[in-house]
Amino acid sequence: MPDPKFSKPWHGVPKDQINWHPTVLEEACIGCGTCVTGCSRLVYRFDFERKKPVVVDPMNCMVGCTTCANTCPAHAIRFPPMSEIFALENSAAVHHAIEDDLIARRDVLALQTSIPHPDRLVQMQVAGIQRPNPDTLLVHLEPAVAGECFCQFAPGQYVEVMIPQSGFMTRSYSISNAPRADGSIDLQVRRVKDGRLSDWAFNRMQVGDSVTVRGPLGSFTMRSAVDRPLLFVAGGTGLAPVHALLMQQLALTPQRDMVLVWGVGDARDFYRLDLLEQYLQQDKNLSVVLVAERGLDAQSIPAGMRTVSGNVVDALRTVTAQLAGRDAYLAGPPGMLAAAVAELRANGLAREQILTDAFGLE
């Protein structure tokens, strides 16, 4: 019988709705019993007659745990792919359940020692809001107090935004511009179904609102020598850090050989074509490839931008001849990044030539 303390819902999701438990490959199993004795949740029992482990209570298995498979000397245990767990974690409801659990058990889970943080808190004001499409906000933040600002940061870094007047935890957003003298920053906020910050941003945020911001954070920054050609790959609002890096290079190394691939689900989600058009006009060595799964026929695309119907990997296959010798900077959803990195590796780019930045979830 499943143990109630082990088979309770996982971050609000009933265990019987989660495909996660071990499978024993009996032809490979040597009957050592390591999995049976090593599992404190009694997922297994041992058949002493056949000298084989048997999965008796799969509901007891901890979601995401693979200890028995990792310690099996015969590699005789298999689990479903981790992508099944990542798909669950992509749900706002699961993310919120984890957040609520952290807050509810703060007295137990909070680190009691103090670790110095290299970042800082800055009070900022919402100075501008644009909505280029129903699911994207372009937010301009300015320092509430002159001199108290993010005047120095590395393009590609991100900040954590605190949801005003709430006890919720911060949300991470990449800064989509290079540093400015006045310390202002731009954020690109995507709508997330049931998202807590996006609900505030899309439904209640107004110009003049005060927002506490922590940062700058992150290591998704330019690391390439000035003579290296570059490839930028962005998925959705992963364009934000990529755009910051692109702005930096256009200012510091004009006429550098650069290719930008930007992928979205629907072509209506291309929300910064105006800026990309300006960059194409000022730098003839920049190439822009837009890729969308649908809607390209109905979207007006500026001259000079190439379009591909499909996903980011499809677009990368159209620039294969241009990949040799490039350093690549990729930002977007984790699933897109994994597929894009695999494609670049298949085309000869070494792992050290590829820097990735996956944006967080609501």
Average pLDDT over residues 134-144: 95
pLDDT band at 360 (very low <50, low <70, confident <90, very high): very low
Query: What are the residue boundaries of the structural domains of the chain, listed by start?
Result: 15-89, 120-217, 230-358
Looking only at the bridges linking them, the beta strands covering 23-24 and 77-78 are: antiparallel
Is the bond leading into 216 cis (omega within 30 degrees of zero)?
Answer: yes
Taking the C-alpha atoms of residue 189 and residue 211, their distance in angstroms, rounded to an integer, is 14
pLDDT at 119 over 70: no
Q: Which amino acid, residue 180?
A: R
3-state SS class at 158 = strand
Tokens of 247: 């702005």
Q: How far from the centroid of its chain's Cα atoms is residue 205's Cα?
A: 24
Q: What's the pTM?
A: 0.82
Q: Taking the CB of residue 13, how many other CB atoms lie within 10 A of it?
A: 15
Sheet with strand 286-294: strands edge to edge: 305-309, 286-294, 258-266, 230-235, 327-332, 354-358
Taking the C-alpha atoms of residue 353 and residue 218, their distance in angstroms, rounded to an integer, is 18
What is the biggest distance separating any 2 CA atoms in the chain, rounded to whole angstroms?
A: 77
3-state SS class at 313 = helix
Mean pLDDT, rounded, of the chain: 92
pLDDT at 361 over 60: no
Whether 15-89 and 120-217 share one fold: the answer is no
pLDDT band at 91 (very low <50, low <70, confident <90, very high): confident
Taking the C-alpha atoms of residue 176 and residue 186, their distance in angstroms, rounded to an integer, is 5
- Which pLDDT belongs to residue 362? 38
Model confidence pLDDT, tens digit, residues 190-249: 998 889 999 999 999 999 999 999 989 999 999 999 999 999 999 999 999 999 999 999
pLDDT at 95 over 50: yes
Quick one: CA dihedral 337, 340, 342, 344, positive or negative?
negative
Q: Are 112 and 245 in contact (CB under 8 A)?
A: no
Taking the C-alpha atoms of residue 60 and residue 3, their distance in angstroms, rounded to an integer, is 6
Taking the C-alpha atoms of residue 159 and residue 197, their distance in angstroms, rounded to an integer, is 14
Average pLDDT over residues 313-324: 92
CATH of the structural domain 120-217, one choice from 2.40.30.10, 2.40.440.10, 2.10.25.10, 2.60.40.10: 2.40.30.10
Taking the C-alpha atoms of residue 307 and residue 226, their distance in angstroms, rounded to an integer, is 28
Topology (CATH) of 230-358: Rossmann fold (3.40.50)
CATH architecture of 15-89: 2-Layer Sandwich (3.30)
